[in-house]
Amino acid sequence: MATEEGTLLPYEVKSTTTPARPYPGHLLQLAAYALLLEERTGQRVDRGYLHYLGDGGVHEVEITEEAKRQVRGVMESLRQVVETEEMPPRAPASHCRDCGYRKICV
């Protein structure tokens, strides 16, 4: 976490080079960290940093309320999976190309 002007901000380090624009998953990860910081500190968090080690780029990123809503939605979906013990429907095959779990997904 980065501290700026007395405010904690999420700071995520990625091992890749800087993409043309941040991947949606990177943005949602920052939004999740922002929600955790908001819960912990009681302060609104509306930006964070992505640091790409592949080329050393550090980028300030706006964390939108929409991204926070998406994180809350994912968390609710996960709660439902745990409570019902039923897996959600499989994602469309087009999502598999960039998925980190594609090698182990059945």
User: What is the arithmetic mean of pLDDT over 82-96?
Assistant: 80
Domain boundaries, the chain: 2-98
Q: What is the pLDDT of residue 2?
A: 58
The distance of Cα 79 from the centroid of its chain, to the nearest Å, equals 18
- pTM, two decimals, is 0.78
According to the model, what pLDDT value does residue 92 have? Answer: 76
Q: How many CB atoms lie within 10 A of CB 37?
A: 20
DSSP string, 40-82: HH-----EEEEEETTTTEEEEEE--HHHHHHHHHHHHHHHHHH
Tell me the pLDDT tens digit for each residue of 39-62: 999 999 999 999 999 887 899 999
